[in-house]
Amino acid sequence: MSRTRILAAALTAAVAIGVISPKVIAYATYAKWGTLSVDFYINPVNADVTQAAATAALQAGMNVWNTQSGTAFRFNYAGRVDDTTTSYDNRNVILFRNVNNGSTIASTYAWSTNGVLVDSDTVFWDGGFAFFTGSSGCGGGGAAYIEDVAAHEFGHALGLQHSTVPDATMAPSYSTCSQTQRTLEADDIAAVQSLYFKTEAGGATQPPTSGGGTSADGTPRQHGSSTARGRSKR
Ligand SMILES: [Ca+2]
Ligand SMILES: [Ca+2]
Ligand SMILES: [Zn+2]
């Protein structure tokens, strides 16, 4: 290769880096599970929709990541429970609470040890918002689709923080009755693929790049209320 061609290649690389880097830093992660299938339980009791509808909508939120992430990571719905509290108890639970928490629609509380997630619970603030399911019928003040809020919260549950990309599922704010969060954007996919084994087009899975240690010796680090969502400002 001549010196001129080498220089051209170097310049091309520099330009490409300049274009790509703003997107690369849009997402953020804080921890990851040590296994590729994680059980989540649901207490579907709420004030707005049937328990069957709530359960189905929450499972749809899980499936957003299961089917769109291009990774081998899977949320596994493990059944109905009656839990009304969140805690580090080695049981991942989604529940509704008939409390108004201001502009926060839902909160995810996660615990990790040495960067490995060991527990994640999510509360939907039922007292402050009117929840709907499906793809029509949502309306009124403080209205939100469970599928979309769940997709965002499950992003926290698998290890993601908020993204600065406005239309991403992991963007911090939710517009009333929006259905955009149930579809992952490229930034969300890049985020989850940075944590878990990426699946190839033919369904083959890349070999693990690290061991899956999950033991939780000592007191796990708790990831607190930085995982709430804000009501739309529009
Ligand atoms: Ca728990
Ligand atoms: Ca409600
Ligand atoms: Zn959030």
- pLDDT tens-digit map of 192-224: 999 999 996 444 444 444 433 333 345 677 774
| Distance between Cα 110 and ligand 1 center (Å) | 8
| pLDDT averaged over every residue in the chain | 84
Task: Give the model confidence (pLDDT) of 11-34 as tens digits.
Answer: 444 444 444 444 456 999 999 999
Sign of torsion over alpha carbons 177, 181, 183, 186: positive
Task: Give the model confidence (pLDDT) of 141-155 as tens digits.
Answer: 999 999 999 999 999
Q: What is the pLDDT of residue 194?
A: 97
Find the ligand nearest to 45 CA.
2
Find the ligand nearest to 89 CA.
1
| Distance between Cα 123 and ligand 2 center (Å) | 12
Could you give the C-alpha distances from 233 to 50, 119, 160, 176, in angstroms and in order?
A: 29, 32, 23, 9
| Distance between Cα 42 and ligand 3 center (Å) | 19
| Distance between Cα 198 and ligand 3 center (Å) | 24
Q: What is the pLDDT of residue 175?
A: 95
Query: 């109905």: which residue's tokens?
Result: 80
Q: What is the pLDDT of residue 21?
A: 47
Residue 111 has pLDDT above 50, yes or no: yes
Q: What is the pLDDT of residue 177?
A: 97
Q: Write phi, then psi, for 97 (nearest 5 degrees).
A: -130, 130
Could you say which DSSP state residue 226 is in? G
Query: 């040590």: which residue's tokens?
Result: 34
Find the ligand nearest to 122 CA.
1
Q: What is the pLDDT of residue 24?
A: 53
Judged by average pLDDT, the poorest of 15-24, 47-56, 66-75 is 15-24
CA dist., res. 222 & res. 224, Å (int): 6
Find the ligand nearest to 46 CA.
2
Average confidence (pLDDT) over 97-122? 97
